[in-house]
Amino acid sequence: MDRELIEAVRAGDRKALARAISQVEGGDSPDITEAHHVSVIGVTGPPGAGKSTLISAMIRLLRSRGRTVAVLAVDPSSPITGGALLGDRIRMQGHAGDEGVFIRSMATRGHLGGLAMPASDTLRLMGLAGFDDLVVETVGIGQSEVEVMGVADLVILVVGPSWGDQIQAEKAGVVEIADLVVVNKADRPGAEEVKRALFESTANRGVEIITTSAITGEGVEELLAAVDRLAGA
């Protein structure tokens, strides 16, 4: 990758960052040896759990604190173009005009594990660009897609009130890699039952379980407080 482009990314040029990510998607590798490490929050969970809406609520609260945020949203690939379907990015479009927020969608292109191949290099570029907080959202995953643990410093598992009983929780490998578990859509029936099942399944690890309603913002402040505690641990 051209050194001039990398320096433009370092200087905070958002267009340069977008071009650099496109080059990474095309197979180029950025020569970044001195990038400042920024903690990466991984957000994962099954389809329909409300991951994107929750991230949008987190962004809103982080921005109210004056922090800048970059999000890598990994979307399913279009069966026609091979590109990202952009569903996650659409749900965060309320931040489109905010210079302190950068959101990039990336297609899986058939890659398994919940992420896309260029995810790691993309996050390094985002860190180089000087954002305070980095978030990577996986494609909707099942029980065994745990690749996010390789790129994130902290993993948040987001599930919904219909996710299942204790047996489902115990056989879900993704629960084992979660640093925090969020039961989203807490205003809907079944949320407390899922929380209890998860509590029983993670009791030996002491994983904190938080209930949120991303639409109303309920629980989001508690979630970020837990992230701050774990990040500082």
Sign of torsion, CA 8 10 11 16? positive
Give the pLDDT score at 80: 43
Model pTM score:
0.86
Give the pLDDT score at 205: 81
Gap between the Cα atoms of 141 and 94, Å rounded: 25
Q: Identity (one letter) of the amino acid at 57?
A: A
Give the pLDDT score at 30: 75
51 in helix, strand or coil? helix
Q: What is the pLDDT along the chain (233 residues), one digit of tens a residue?
A: 788 999 999 999 999 999 999 999 888 877 776 556 788 999 998 888 999 999 999 999 999 999 999 999 987 655 444 554 555 555 666 787 889 999 998 877 655 455 667 888 899 999 999 999 999 998 776 555 677 888 899 999 999 998 766 556 555 677 888 899 999 999 899 899 899 888 888 877 888 999 999 999 999 999 999 999 998 75
Gap between the Cα atoms of 181 and 38, Å rounded: 22
Q: Which residue has the tokens 């398994």?
A: 112
Give the pLDDT score at 79: 44
* 206: its two tokens: 């002491």
Query: CA nearest 114: which of 153, 83, 150, 141?
Result: 141
Give the pLDDT score at 202: 82
202 in helix, strand or coil? helix
CA distances from 143 to 71, 119, 164 (A): 23, 20, 12
Give the pLDDT score at 97: 80
Task: Give the domains, in start order, of the chain with CATH numbers.
Answer: 36-232 (3.40.50.300)
Residue spans of alpha helices (H) in the chain: 3-10, 14-25, 51-64, 87-91, 119-128, 166-171, 191-202, 220-232
DSSP 123-188: HHHHHHTT-SEEEEEPPS--SS--GGGGT-SEEEEEE-TTS--HHHHHH-GGGGG-SEEEE--TTS
Orientation angle between helical segments 14-25 and 3-10, nearest 10 degrees: 130
Structural contact between residues 20 and 115, judged by C-beta atoms closer than 8 angstroms: no
User: Distance of alpha carbon 44 from its chain centroid, rounded?
Assistant: 6
